[in-house]
Amino acid sequence: MLPLLLSALASIAHAGNITYNVAVNLPLSAGGSITGTITTNGTLGASNIVAWHLDLVAFGTFEFDQSNSNVSVSGTDLTATPTALLFNFGGSDHGYLIFGQASYTAGFGLNLNEI
């Protein structure tokens, strides 16, 4: 069971918020990456992610933030420390973390369970 480290650097914002930097290279033949930040209120769960700005570069460039997308978390695979936000891709509960663009009815989004 090897969790993927989504962020190695975190900074304390205010009132307990923690901002995690995201830098992930995607395993695609054409290359690709996800970069940006995810901010929590210091705890976990979809309602605890208070802000995000993610740039997905893969077959085009897509930007996700709280003004154009929503976040959904299920299961116990997303965990955090004061310095790292982790997702366990080998989890047996089939959990997920999805940043989806609300304007797309086809379910366009960034599903971190499928990276």
pLDDT at 14: 45
Question: Would residue 99 count as lying in a domain?
Answer: yes
pLDDT at 46: 56
Side chain identity at 58, as an amino acid letter? A
Question: Would residue 74 count as lying in a domain?
Answer: yes
pLDDT at 21: 92
Question: Would residue 24 count as lying in a domain?
Answer: yes
Question: Would residue 2 count as lying in a domain?
Answer: no
Number of domains in the chain: 1
Question: Would residue 59 count as lying in a domain?
Answer: yes
pLDDT in tens, the chain (115 residues): 333 444 434 444 445 899 999 888 887 777 888 899 999 888 765 568 899 999 988 888 888 898 988 888 888 888 888 888 888 877 788 788 888 875 544 444 555 555 4
Q: Encoding tokens for residue 55?
A: 């740039």
Burial degree of 38 (CB within 10 A; 0-12, 13-18, 19+) = buried
pLDDT at 36: 94
Q: Look at residue 22 and give its three-state secondary structure.
A: strand
pTM over 0.85: no
Q: Could you list the residue range(s) of the whole structural domain that residue 66 is in?
A: 7-114
